[in-house]
Amino acid sequence: MLKLQTPNNENKVLLHSCCAPCSSAIIECMLANGIRPTLFYYNPNIYPQEEYEIRKNEAIRYTRDLGLDFIDGDYDYRQWRCSMQGMEDEPERGNRCLQCFTHRLTETARYASGHGFSLFTTTLASSRWKSLDQINEAGRRAAALYPGTIFWEQNWRKGGLQDRRNQLLKEYGFYNQQYCGCEFSMRRLNQQ
């Protein structure tokens, strides 16, 4: 299991969660290292809303099994879609993804700042389909807007976490989506 060291040796972390499969091994690793995460589920990018509800309910199921706190951020797809205006045709890992990460992590930092968390991180950094550089940039931008918050840059792809994620996915029978969640990635999947 990956050995973790948080900035300032914090053991209380607000963990932005994109879904249960991506969160599972990260949470397990945090708990094994004496870090107690609170899950913050803020993903207004997920389309359609039925997909959002399925993913959210899986995340709730997992956190309840572990006795962790789960915070349900607002689902405001219309606002998210407006913030993506003009970037509809951007490729995956393009400017739209950076804007999406920044949107979601800024809300995470806002929540952290207002609820006693100095440290936040995200499960987005576990996906090999996402740019780790973009995720870290978005996290730093978000933390800069809320003094007193720190974005914990962590590569959640290493230390056997990908393999453990796949094991937990099977153990829990998680719903495993085939696209990141936004309508643009869904469109790309449907074209394939």
| Token pair 């806002």: residue | 110
For 93-104, write each residue's pLDDT tens digit. 999 999 999 999
For 109-125, write each residue's pLDDT tens digit. 999 999 999 999 999 99
Residue 113 forms part of a structural domain: yes
3-state secondary structure at position 151: strand
Beta bridge partners, 121, equal 15
Residue 3 forms part of a structural domain: no
Give me the pLDDT at residue 9, please: 81
pTM comes to 0.95
Residue 4 forms part of a structural domain: no
Give the span between the Cα atoms of 78 and 84, in whole angstroms: 10
Does residue 184 have a pLDDT over 80? yes
Q: How many folded domains does the chain comprise?
A: 1
Give the span between the Cα atoms of 51 and 35, in whole angstroms: 30
Give the span between the Cα atoms of 25 and 170, in whole angstroms: 12
Binned at pLDDT 50, 70 and 90, residue 192 comes out as low
In terms of Cβ atoms closer than 10 Å to its own Cβ (0-12, 13-18, 19+), residue 90 is middle
Residue 74 forms part of a structural domain: yes
Binned at pLDDT 50, 70 and 90, residue 189 comes out as low
Q: Which domain holds residue 125?
A: 9-191
CATH number of residue 174's parent domain: 3.40.50.620
